[in-house]
Amino acid sequence: MNGPRFNEWIQSPKVRVIDHEGENLGVMYTKEAMEQAQGLGLDLVEVSPNADPPVAKFLDVGKFKYEAQKKANLARKSQKTQEIKEIKMRPNIDDHDYETKMKAIHKFIGEGDKVKVTLRFRGRELSHGQLGMNLLKRVQEDTAEDAKVESYPRMEGRQMLMVLSPK
């Protein structure tokens, strides 16, 4: 069992006791320490079983568990999950539109997200696959300093896909 251990598991006849305010009360018998803790309406919790003698502390177990849960929830909330953002283009995209899309790609990668670049072919554009491949190579070169290619360009039906991830 990891973490603090509660009354039933204390094996040592003597323990070093720390009270609820963090003061060191010294080494005393386990039974005596338990009685003092109960007198204060608290529990005796072993916090360092490997020390010699083991260290035990006066705690309210319910409050302790609540605080631990709160810390875990806060840590989970502050975690950043990596999302996949999608940028859609056409093979014959204009220069200004391309620059606008590249700004968005740089912003997403700067935020730590992956970017899926989708090239959509319509009608006869499908027969000019090299245009799409050239465009995706250009995107790859323009993002080379802050992104790496996770999934190289591939065709899926009428679309060509490439996934970029932050370095």
**Same-domain check for residues 102 and 59:** no
Domain boundary among 78, 101, 126: 78
Residue 2 inside a domain? The answer is no
One domain for residues 145 and 122: yes
DSSP 8-state class, residue 102:
H
Regarding whether 160 and 89 lie in a shared domain, the answer is: yes
CATH number, residue 91: 3.30.110.10
CATH number at residue 67: 3.10.20.80
pTM beyond 0.75, yes or no: no
In a shared domain, residues 92 and 158: yes
Looking at 30, 46, 78, which one is the last position of a domain?
78
11: containing domain = 7-78
104, 161: one domain: yes
Residue 1 covered by a domain? no
Per residue of the chain (167 residues), give pLDDT as tens: 455 555 444 555 888 999 888 888 888 888 888 888 888 888 888 888 888 888 888 888 888 888 889 998 888 887 777 789 999 999 999 999 999 999 999 999 998 899 999 999 998 888 888 888 999 999 999 999 999 999 999 999 999 999 999 98
By CB neighbour count within 10 A (0-12 exposed, 13-18 middle, 19+ buried), where does 162 fall?
buried
Q: What SS3 state is found at 114?
A: strand
Cβ atoms of residues 1 and 10 within 8 Å? no
